[in-house]
Amino acid sequence: MTDTLIKVDLDTPATENPQVHNRWHPDIPMACWVKPGDDFILETYDWTAGAIANNDDASDVRDVDLSTVHYLSGPVGVEGAAPGDLLVVDLLDIGAKEEAPWGFNGFFSQQNGGGFLTEHFPHAQKSIWDFHGLYTSSRHVPGVHFAGLIHPGLIGCLPSRDLLETWNRREADLIATNPDRVPPLANPPVAATAHMGAMTGDDRDKAAAEGARTVPPREHGGNVDIKDLSRGSKIFFPVYVDGGGLSVGDLHFSQGDGEITFCGAIEMAGGWVHMKVELIKGGMAKYGIKNPIFKPSPITPNYKDYLIFEGISVDETGHQHYLDVNVAYRQACLNAIEYLKKFGYSGAQAYSILGVAPVQGHISGVVDIPNSCATLWIPSEIFDFDIHPGSDGPMKHIDGRVDVPIAYD
Amino acid sequence: MTDTLIKVDLDTPATENPQVHNRWHPDIPMACWVKPGDDFILETYDWTAGAIANNDDASDVRDVDLSTVHYLSGPVGVEGAAPGDLLVVDLLDIGAKEEAPWGFNGFFSQQNGGGFLTEHFPHAQKSIWDFHGLYTSSRHVPGVHFAGLIHPGLIGCLPSRDLLETWNRREADLIATNPDRVPPLANPPVAATAHMGAMTGDDRDKAAAEGARTVPPREHGGNVDIKDLSRGSKIFFPVYVDGGGLSVGDLHFSQGDGEITFCGAIEMAGGWVHMKVELIKGGMAKYGIKNPIFKPSPITPNYKDYLIFEGISVDETGHQHYLDVNVAYRQACLNAIEYLKKFGYSGAQAYSILGVAPVQGHISGVVDIPNSCATLWIPSEIFDFDIHPGSDGPMKHIDGRVDVPIAYD
Amino acid sequence: MTDTLIKVDLDTPATENPQVHNRWHPDIPMACWVKPGDDFILETYDWTAGAIANNDDASDVRDVDLSTVHYLSGPVGVEGAAPGDLLVVDLLDIGAKEEAPWGFNGFFSQQNGGGFLTEHFPHAQKSIWDFHGLYTSSRHVPGVHFAGLIHPGLIGCLPSRDLLETWNRREADLIATNPDRVPPLANPPVAATAHMGAMTGDDRDKAAAEGARTVPPREHGGNVDIKDLSRGSKIFFPVYVDGGGLSVGDLHFSQGDGEITFCGAIEMAGGWVHMKVELIKGGMAKYGIKNPIFKPSPITPNYKDYLIFEGISVDETGHQHYLDVNVAYRQACLNAIEYLKKFGYSGAQAYSILGVAPVQGHISGVVDIPNSCATLWIPSEIFDFDIHPGSDGPMKHIDGRVDVPIAYD
Amino acid sequence: MTDTLIKVDLDTPATENPQVHNRWHPDIPMACWVKPGDDFILETYDWTAGAIANNDDASDVRDVDLSTVHYLSGPVGVEGAAPGDLLVVDLLDIGAKEEAPWGFNGFFSQQNGGGFLTEHFPHAQKSIWDFHGLYTSSRHVPGVHFAGLIHPGLIGCLPSRDLLETWNRREADLIATNPDRVPPLANPPVAATAHMGAMTGDDRDKAAAEGARTVPPREHGGNVDIKDLSRGSKIFFPVYVDGGGLSVGDLHFSQGDGEITFCGAIEMAGGWVHMKVELIKGGMAKYGIKNPIFKPSPITPNYKDYLIFEGISVDETGHQHYLDVNVAYRQACLNAIEYLKKFGYSGAQAYSILGVAPVQGHISGVVDIPNSCATLWIPSEIFDFDIHPGSDGPMKHIDGRVDVPIAYD
């Protein structure tokens, strides 16, 4: 039996667990140590550590304090790991805690986090997804069920002091360009809600004031929200501190490319990761590595029949942007939502599907001035009915009796 | 035997072929007519209609007149097609003309077109790719060969007059924000090099002065450069004029997501498309369609073992951008190039590989402020050697004796 | 949390568990009842219920009493199920019991069970396979590791009295054609070692004397040993008795087509199946169903690069058989073993690999008199080294220091 | 442009073409010579060289003289090839001759060839399949269309004199066990209809009397009818004579595993193969090769959603066979036919589908005495309607207005 090196109790606040942290800082002490070649299990909270409940009321999504996220399990020290190495991590398996076979997806209020289509969906909404073994479905989004592409939204090693300073400086510079923006351009350190693992006292306070927020992906990986870092994949992480300091959390049962709904994927209420670590000494220089690289899993949902939507970088008001993939992908998403509505879905249900199902977002053309082109791929097999276009026009398979709960600001 | 409705002679200028055109305009007369249910073949020039030669000299890429592209075969009128319909096009097969089993890839000079990484590769370069049945390889980029994902870079229907005016207006508005920029923000109509199919005289001159350039993808599809519109796929195009007016060209033997090298994919020196058309009457409204949608082919190269590179929206100078997928994808591309150089490739060779091989570009995270995350997927099977990282470090399999020909400005 | 309706304690004899049985008989009482639409979990013993140990001594394989197998969990009664219905079973997930992350593969002695290549491997041998999350590897077979294609070797519903009599009669008729054969042509009922679930007394004794052995697949499915009935698949079973009576066991972590080593696949030391049941009333007649049909899982190991071996129905002595797929597949297997030996494997190691890895066995030609052709597909990605042929000849990657333990008769 | 080394004129008898032969014999002179590394094209007749016409009359199938088949293009000599080498053949591409975009499938009369299910379909029947680019469909079998998995049914090198004698002797021995059987157990040499390539006079007559028939697959490959030897695959052939002597023919546009209808797959009326050859000197001994091995193509139809039928080795009369995969596969086929009939297909149409579509036949269990288990996998995407079972029962999508033409004996 494999050792579980970090356990979490979903009924106990994450802030009481010294093997959990919610900031990046090189001084956070290792929560446990392993040797190269070891495999072990870490349990995890959901990214909010219990702030979102399994019910039909979206007010918890509306009111969430985003300065508290993400609660990560770790850091795990690896004996012999030194700056410049590559830490090779095999995600041997990932699952839900037995007592928590469910997850949530939501859209944040435009006033508190927003999302990729927040102008169209400005209020907090939430759907609950139940896990049935390898599959999931939602009482709030009928007519769709699919196999999970389980992965950590967030995984990476501790930054060095230099790297941390680089992060804080460049993000502060960005914030300074428009400091009063709502939502902000980036999130600076917030000491009050920082949970620095086993740190206490002045050390904790100093580190909490400096600790980088976990929201953005950065050089070390971090919150990359790449759905393809799924169980069975192998990741090569840059090491910046002695011991590496690998932390993981924010498990997703499934997610579409982009995690467009922001809150987020299907956020697993509680889970565990079984992983194995090895080292490539000096691997960063040997291979010219700046960001993590990885090999995908051989065991991912094998969907093949897609319906693909195009978007170009002319926005929904008709305004022409210059080679902007964000705009193009937004248009592809809006096009797909419009299409799904013809089958009876509400816009919010369609938006949820794009956020949680294993949809692909491809960068399809980035040089044909002035329009970028992006494509959104929806696997047709996830629907209980046929979504292909035909000469008879779409049938309203979804009767509108249920919708995604909403909480107005 | 299927009828070839448009033939092209690669030894004759495209401008002499009345069934070919290089602008979008509703007045271009149909080059031929078909009925719903018909299948037929159209031959095509390469997008420059012969401006780029099969040799080791990149000066033709440097000197190309980009106001002449793209030479398209069509428009094909479909009986009964009317504005608001969807034109369903099955790409039954696509191939190279027997006398032209080769294609080219190039980077434009930064002074004449540029490309996605033009700051890093500012001079014109060109590689030639030979076709061996289903496969391709290049004398300029050793160690790599792969199966073609043959597709048209450009396909779509004629715009209505209203749509054309919308295009010209919004692109003119963009140009007006920085009219002296080199390269320009967009390309306005250029009458001199316009080839308006069978139009002549004043009609031709008037239409040539208005005809939209073919470079960007737009609502009708057009130059989407989506590698997955490959032979075997089925596309649903919006119809804007009576008869539809379907045109096609810019055939690619293979391309990576983004067509980052701009000139472009593996541009087929001459080819043909076997297609079938059908109609969904009133389909645009029935399905809420603004841009084309499509189903991918069941017969595409089945590469499964990828090495995946991450990029975030911090650029190579360390500057922090706000949720910019373009920057993130650029970083993923630069990371991959750096990696491939460790195996002996020149930067230009690595850049070429990303432009021509069936690499995937995924939009992986678009909401985690301030960093977008994009991933670049390289199929490892296309290399003649193992590109995976290992504890011994990379071996220099490529000896540097050949490189991609360059032509300095 | 899903209910576990049948629990097994691997430290307690299966014969003491009234929710387990090892014969097919319509009188075995339901171990539990569920409703259509329910999902639930059943735990299972390995097929021998603990007769084979995790050690390096094959004598337990040599000495196993095959009249005791297979120990199945069930039968599960489904409310409303009636003869003629189809019982629709979703295998929502399958896993190893936490305390038993391992399995065994073995070849039986030719004197006690044999196997597909028993003339070439006449003695009992055993390899142990450890599970590392989704993957497995063996201390007895180096150089190979792969993702599990977890499935039940045996699953099906109770036979009716008529069907049971048909089975016993036709198998007795076969045995009668050569009653003294070693090994026998088929296995008649054996009352002594029958475990009839909750049955006791005379009822038990009568049923035990009639109960069909579980070794062969039959109309109801049963011991089909189809690797593709993997977790995530959906199976449609004929129902013969009121309540259906679904039983399952013989879980395999992975298996090659044919289960050629007989003992068997990677036999999971203890496991669980999470499944859901529904009914199609009268489905057997509606769809003309005699044997189960099924849909494979969308989440199976995605191996793509195979090396394929052909075999024809001329046996290894040069004798010509008439359109005999068994002989052809045997030759394909022997050809593959000979090939793998060139890389350093012992014959027994190669035979084990064919038995446990997700190799495919295809019936490739069955009409070209007098030779059938069969193909054996080995996924090349499961090896830690390159097994493709090349001009330099094979390298001995395996040094022969370990082999598969053997126990001579 | 690639050289076409062998051309065939479909309007001229194959027997007048000295670069074509229909027997295996070491004395057949090379039709042309190539060097290792060369790629070239060979054109081919259909296997009967024009005996079957594109019409609705099956009498040509009924009356075909099977002693004339298969007409092969070759042998191609490869400079430097010597006995014991492996000839590495890349099937770079395969296609239909432009003037022959169609193929045929048929069942032979039980009196003249038969087939896998000849007792159920004793009379000659024929369906015509039209090619639409990469796809095919038939006017005789509505409701189904699919992408071709184009491959040669027959390809291999000339036997040595010793090998030829071995073949003739062992097949004669088999015939001798029941010399009057109809159909025969095997086919002995028939001089009258032998076409020995460029041989003439006494040499031809002597070789014709000895030349092995081309029907069965043998050590050299030959008529293996493996659907996965498709365009894009790479095959390693044993070499038995100086120069190798590679011949190819019997092109199939598509075929199901087993080629159960015997006449056969979708037999291409005329085609071409683009291939490349290389040598592994001494490769047979280096790799222990007796029969060809191969790597499948990366570009095959990507069907994923299968409906799978099981069969066991109890025949349709209820008779119990001992571990007989042929019987098991027959049962799986009969089960599938019965199922498809519920949707309106005639038995002959369903049988045709199993013969021509890319169905898989897996050897699923071969050790569970007394029953073998085989599975037949039908890709559900090839149908224009949903073939999955559901609670409402099957809908008759096929109205029975057309059937497969029949010609009674």
pLDDT tens digits for C200-259? Answer: 999 999 999 999 999 999 999 999 999 999 999 999 999 999 999 999 999 999 999 999
Closest C-alpha to D376, from D350, D402, D395: D350
Residues in chain B closer than 8 A to D3 (CB atoms): none
Residues in chain D closer than 8 A to A386 (CB atoms): 386
pLDDT per residue as tens, chain A (409 positions) = 899 999 999 999 999 999 999 999 999 999 999 999 999 999 999 999 999 999 999 999 999 999 999 999 999 999 999 999 999 999 999 999 999 999 999 999 999 989 999 999 999 999 999 999 999 999 999 999 999 999 999 999 999 999 999 999 999 999 999 999 988 999 999 999 999 999 999 999 999 999 999 999 999 999 999 999 999 999 999 999 999 999 999 999 999 999 999 898 999 999 999 999 999 999 999 999 999 999 999 999 988 899 999 999 999 999 999 999 999 999 999 999 999 999 999 999 999 999 999 999 999 989 999 999 999 999 999 999 999 999 999 999 999 999 999 999 9
B-chain residue closest to A313, CA distance: B218
Gap between the Cα atoms of C1 and A132, Å rounded: 10
Pairing of strands A4-6, A39-45: parallel
Confidence of residue D304 (pLDDT cuts 50, 70, 90): confident
Per residue in D353-398, pLDDT (tens digit) is 999 999 999 999 899 999 999 999 999 999 999 999 999 999 999 9
CA dihedral B246, B250, B253, B259 (to 10 degrees): -110
Gap between the Cα atoms of B186 and B173, Å rounded: 10
pTM for the structure as a whole: 0.96
ipTM: 0.96
Q: In the structure, how many helices (H) and strands (E) does chain B have?
A: 6, 22
Q: State the chains in contact with C (3 or more Cβ–Cβ pairs under 8 Å).
A: A, B, D
- Percent of chain C scoring above 70 in pLDDT: 100
Which token pair is A113?
């986090």
Q: State the chains in contact with B (3 or more Cβ–Cβ pairs under 8 Å).
A: A, C, D
A-chain residue closest to D385, CA distance: A386
Supply angle C-alpha B113, B118, B124, rounded to 5.
Answer: 65
Residues in chain B closer than 8 A to A318 (CB atoms): 166, 170
Gap between the Cα atoms of A294 and A221, Å rounded: 11
Residues C150-155, mean pLDDT to the nearest whole number: 98
Per-residue pLDDT at C182 exceeds 90: no
- Peptide bond before residue D183 is cis, with ω within 30 degrees of 0: yes
From D116, D281, D289, residue closest to C367, measured CB to CB = D116
Q: How many CB atoms are located within 10 Å of the residue A123 CB? A: 18
Closest C-alpha to A214, from A292, A156, A149: A156
Closest C-alpha to C88, from D387, D335, D389: D389
Q: Which ranges of D275-370 does DSSP label H, i.e. alpha helix?
A: 283-287, 325-341, 347-356
Contact yes or no for A365 and B280 at CB 8 A: no
Size of interface A-C (CB pairs under 8 A): 76
Domain ranges of chain D: 4-295, 306-407
Q: Please, are residues B253 and B266 in contact by the beta-carbon 8 Å criterion?
A: yes
Gap between the Cα atoms of A127 and A130, Å rounded: 10
Exposure class string for C13-31: b at 16+ Cβ within 10 A, else e: ebbebebbbbbbbbbbebb
Which token pair is D310?
């099981």
Q: In sequence order, which residues have a C-beta less than 8 Å from that of residue D119 and are 6 or more positions away?
A: D110
In A102-255, beta strands by DSSP E:
102-107, 124-132, 135-138, 141-147, 151-157, 217-218, 221-222, 234-238, 244-252
Gap between the Cα atoms of B262 and B52, Å rounded: 14
* Best to test chain C binding among B146, B305, B306, B383 (most C CBs inside 10 Å): B305
Q: Which ranges of D146-216 does DSSP label H, i.e. alpha helix?
A: 161-176, 201-210
Per-residue pLDDT at D183 exceeds 90: no
Closest C-alpha to D64, from D75, D77, D53: D53
Size of interface A-D (CB pairs under 8 A): 11
Per-residue pLDDT at C8 exceeds 90: yes
Asked if the C-beta of C343 comes within 8 angstroms of chain D's C-beta atoms, the answer is: no
**How far away is chain A from the Cα of C214, in angstroms, using its nearest Cα?**
28
Gap between the Cα atoms of B49 and B128, Å rounded: 16
Residues C72-84, mean pLDDT to the nearest whole number: 98
Residues B314-329, mean pLDDT to the nearest whole number: 96
- Percent of chain B scoring above 90 in pLDDT: 97
**How far away is chain C from the Cα of D187, in angstroms, using its nearest Cα?**
8
Asked if the C-beta of C231 comes within 8 angstroms of chain A's C-beta atoms, the answer is: yes
Contact yes or no for D291 and C309 at CB 8 A: yes
Q: Which positions 369-388 of B are in contact with A (Cβ < 8 Å)?
A: 369-375, 377, 388
Residues in chain B closer than 8 A to A86 (CB atoms): 389
Q: What architecture is the C4-295 domain classified under in CATH?
A: Sandwich (2.60)
Size of interface B-C (CB pairs under 8 A): 11
Which token pair is B365?
């995270």
Residue D151 pLDDT: 98
Residue B204 pLDDT: 98
B98/D365: higher pLDDT: B98
From C183, C294, C341, residue closest to D308, measured CB to CB = C294
Per residue in B7-36, pLDDT (tens digit) is 999 999 999 999 999 999 999 999 999 999
From D262, D310, D394, residue closest to C367, measured CB to CB = D262
Closest C-alpha to B42, from B276, B272, B278, B229: B272
Per residue in A100-133, pLDDT (tens digit) is 999 999 999 999 989 999 999 999 999 999 999 9
Q: Cα dist. C220→C153, C157, C247, C289 in Å?
A: 13, 6, 11, 10
Residue with tokens 């000494």: A281
Exposure class string for C286-325: b at 16+ Cβ within 10 A, else e: bbbbbbbbbbbbbbbbbbebbbbbbbbbbbeeeebbbbbb
Contact yes or no for D135 and B92 at CB 8 A: yes
DSSP string, B28-60: SPPSEEE-TT-EEEEEEE-TTSS-S-SSS-THH
Asked if the C-beta of D93 comes within 8 angstroms of chain B's C-beta atoms, the answer is: yes
Confidence of residue B171 (pLDDT cuts 50, 70, 90): very high
Contact yes or no for B381 and C302 at CB 8 A: no
Residue B1 pLDDT: 82
Per-residue pLDDT at B304 exceeds 90: no
Contact yes or no for D322 and C86 at CB 8 A: no
DSSP state at residue B175 = H
- Percent of chain D scoring above 70 in pLDDT: 100
